[in-house]
Structure 1
């Protein structure tokens, strides 16, 4: 078999494999359908926690849940799955307000660094800043 023919067959095989993954939903990004979906997804991993307030981002890929005792639950889509975690203000390395509806969050943990999150209302963005902002005087981080 000639080398050009072999290269063409391999390239076609790779293209067909990528297309098959895409058609079967492998490139789909998970989204949250609402506050109840975020709560139920969070409860799957943390059944003892009760969320009182849910703040959903405008792209429906992330939800921040107030769970009390200076802790915030996070449900974030990664590919077609959801990452869930509980975060305290001490675990936040950087917390900044962008415009009135946007919050930038970076965690000190290496498993998920955070990101930039846009909310439908300034109230949700401000609520997240207050929940994860410095809780003690003299903290080095800026929350607003």
Structure 2
């Protein structure tokens, strides 16, 4: 379903100046997710966006299902591997670097958020309000 939706968006909007992807990549079988499974889904979706929109900037944000356990975006002082969110922040910091300035990497790694100038007068603020 996701692949079809992204492919169709690419067909219908070849003139798009940029893409804003609002997350929630992971299916809603939320209590059966794993870190390796979520990594595969996130990676596959980022690769699909690169393929369908090869010359367009893509501005991503995290949905509440990207983490596992779902909705558990622990604060940075929680380092226990089964609760820490650092794996997803590190993953998307690397994968989103295709589209974002290098200066955004530290804030993505810290908390999954960033800001990027699209063009003069237009700035994207990619918020992670999942831990609010």
Please indicate the TM-score interval, normalised by the length of the shorter structure. under 0.3
Provide the TM-score with structure 1 as the length reference: 0.26
Provide the TM-score with structure 2 as the length reference: 0.28
More strand by share: 1
Greater C-alpha Rg:
1
